[in-house]
Amino acid sequence: MKISLIDIGSNLTHDSFASDRDAVMARAFDAGVRRQVVTGTDGASSNRAAALAAAHPAVLSSTAGIHPHHAQSFDASLRARLSELLRRPQVVAVGECGLDYYRNFSPPEAQRAAFVAQLELAAAAGKPVFLHQREAHADFLAILKDFRGLISGGVAHCFTGGRSELEDYLALDLHIGVTGWVSDERRGQALREAVPHIPGGRLMLETDAPYLLPRDLSPRPKSRRNEPGFLGHIAAAVAHLRGETVEAVAASTTQNAIRFFGLNA
Report the interface residues with Zn ion, using CB under 5 A: 96, 132
The string over 58-82, giving b where at least 16 C-beta atoms fall within 10 Å of a residue's C-beta and e elsewhere, is eebbbbbbbbbbbbbebeeebbebb
Residue closer to Zn ion (CB basis): 11 or 253: 11
The string over 92-109, giving b where at least 16 C-beta atoms fall within 10 Å of a residue's C-beta and e elsewhere, is bbbbbbbbbbeebebeee
* Least Å from the CB of residue 178 to Zn ion: 13
Contacts 24+ apart (CB under 8 A), 104-112: 105/68, 105/69, 105/70, 105/72, 106/68, 106/69, 106/70, 106/71, 106/72, 106/73, 107/72, 108/136, 108/139, 110/71, 110/72, 110/74, 111/68, 111/71, 111/136, 112/139, 112/143
Beta bridge partners of 6: 35
Question: What is the chain's length?
Answer: 265
Residue closer to Zn ion (CB basis): 96 or 184: 96
User: Which residue number has the CB closest to Zn ion?
Assistant: 132
| Phi and psi torsions of 12, nearest 5° | -70, -15
Residue closer to Zn ion (CB basis): 132 or 192: 132
* Least Å from the CB of residue 110 to Zn ion: 17
Residue closer to Zn ion (CB basis): 96 or 168: 96
Residue closer to Zn ion (CB basis): 228 or 252: 228
Distance CA 217, CA 232 (A): 11
* Least Å from the CB of residue 248 to Zn ion: 27
* Least Å from the CB of residue 96 to Zn ion: 5
* Least Å from the CB of residue 251 to Zn ion: 26
* Least Å from the CB of residue 66 to Zn ion: 12
* Least Å from the CB of residue 158 to Zn ion: 5
Distance CA 129, CA 93 (A): 5
Residue closer to Zn ion (CB basis): 132 or 175: 132
Residue closer to Zn ion (CB basis): 96 or 227: 96
